[in-house]
Structure 1
């Protein structure tokens, strides 16, 4: 059985997704379709990166992963006609735009990527070229062809990796990467990095403004620890620090925008921590 995953910004109303799925199951009968998400922010490929990065590895080898997200995260992908590519990485197949997304996804640039050829029929779907180009590629992969048979080898556009937190001796300054359907915010502070800097010292985690309800000094084990009057922090299955509010949505509890930071402050003693907390509003 051929398994195909979809990570797109096509929305959940069914217009684009429905047309794509209908055409794909007609081309490849029996294909197993799995939706990673269709609600990536429009033209925000980094959101697609995070969603797929922590999902694809759980699928069986030779799964075909389709990314249908516009926008770019590279300086060299401003093309009049978008270029679409197919390649194999870590025993999985990937199909999507050549826009810098892949370096962010894997932490390195795939070595052998192949441009997908545009058939004359693709002009019919100029406003939605994925409907022809991606499905044609999936059909050929399902027949046993390899990416090298689908087009000429091209350079994979350089992008940028997911930003690392700013690290100092006694601080980590991070940012939000992703908000799930529950409103919980996943940051770019990894568990390994947190405990490496922590080194068994007391700490406090603050989101945005310096107020008590936006601060915690413990790592929770589940989402229901504490009460709904202040934030909690825990490490999600992704391995990154996650900020939540029990029985509430973080995004409704704290004003958050693209500039909101997460400050983790480490202290050499409890006395130092208590002195610092005494200055809070």
Structure 2
């Protein structure tokens, strides 16, 4: 059974999560909902990508994973959908998906909206309804795009005397 997961930097005590859940109920989306965390450090797409990459494979294929990190600051860039290893990912076009999939992945779809929208439930929930009704055929509900923001993954560097890297999660 596919589920809807949610990972964000909204904060544990924020009203945004309750607002999203209320909109989900109003939209009559019947998928099981799992909040992975809302405690990503604000704007930290690297942490969001790391946590998502660690857990998404544990869910059933055709699960939909929302990554709502740095949303307001990057909403003007648009929102993307992608299918990767049997899972669907929805996120702002801020480079977070490229940190999960790698730089060579190029199967992104643009989630179209009629106008600029800051509330992610007004972007993602109508899209999820379309995706489910189209039997999870991404190309039936969105247009492919090759213009996406990408970020480079951090790679450890080792020489004879030292190892340099980045701690992402403790």
Q: If the length of structure 1 is used for normalisation, what is the TM-score?
A: 0.55
Task: Give the aligned partner of residue 157 of structure 1.
Answer: 149
Residue among 160, 177, 182 paired with 2:168: 177
Shift of 1:151: 2.4
User: Which deviations, in whole Å up to 9, do the C-alpha atoms of 1:1-53 show, x marking residues without a partner?
Assistant: 44100011111124111111121133244310111111111111111011101
- Give 5+ residue unaligned stretches, structure 1: 72-77, 179-184, 186-281
Q: Does 1:84 align with 2:79?
A: yes
Q: Equivalent residue for 2:132?
A: 142
Give CA-to-partner distance per residue, 1:223-249, whole Å, 9 cap, x none.
xxxxxxxxxxxxxxxxxxxxxxxxxxx
Higher relative contact order (CA 8 A, sep 6+): 2
The one of 121, 138, 154 aligned to 1:131:
121
Please give the alpha-carbon distance, in whole angstroms, between the structure 2 residues aligned to 1:14 and 1:137.
24
* Structure with the higher helix share, 1 or 2: 2
Give the drift of 1:137. Answer: 1.2
Tell me which of 93, 103, 106 is aligned to 2:88: 93
Match of 1:27 in 2: 27
2: distance between equivalents of 1:9 and 1:16? 10
For structure 2, the residue ranges without an aligned partner over 5 or more in a row are none
Alignment of 1:39 onto 2:39: yes
CA RMSD of aligned residues (A): 2.2
**Alignment of 1:106 onto 2:97:** no
What is the Cα deviation at residue 169 of structure 1? 2.4
- Find the residue that maps to 1:55 and give its secondary structure: helix
Change (3 A) 1:80 1:68: closer
Q: How far 1:80 moved relative to its partner?
A: 7.8
CA distance in 2, matches of 1:139, 1:28: 9
TM-score by length of 2: 0.87
Cα distance change on mapping 1:58 and 1:12 into 2, 3 Å: same
Q: 1:174 to 1:93 in 2, by over 3 A?
A: same
Q: Which residue of 2 aligns with 1:4?
A: 4
Q: 1:135 to 1:79 in 2, by over 3 A?
A: closer
CA distance in 2, matches of 1:6, 1:80: 17
Contact 2:2–2:59 at 8 Å: present in 1 too? no
- Which deviates more, 60-69 or 27-36? 27-36
On the 8 A contact 2:91/2:97 being kept in 1, the answer is: no
Greater C-alpha radius of gyration: 1
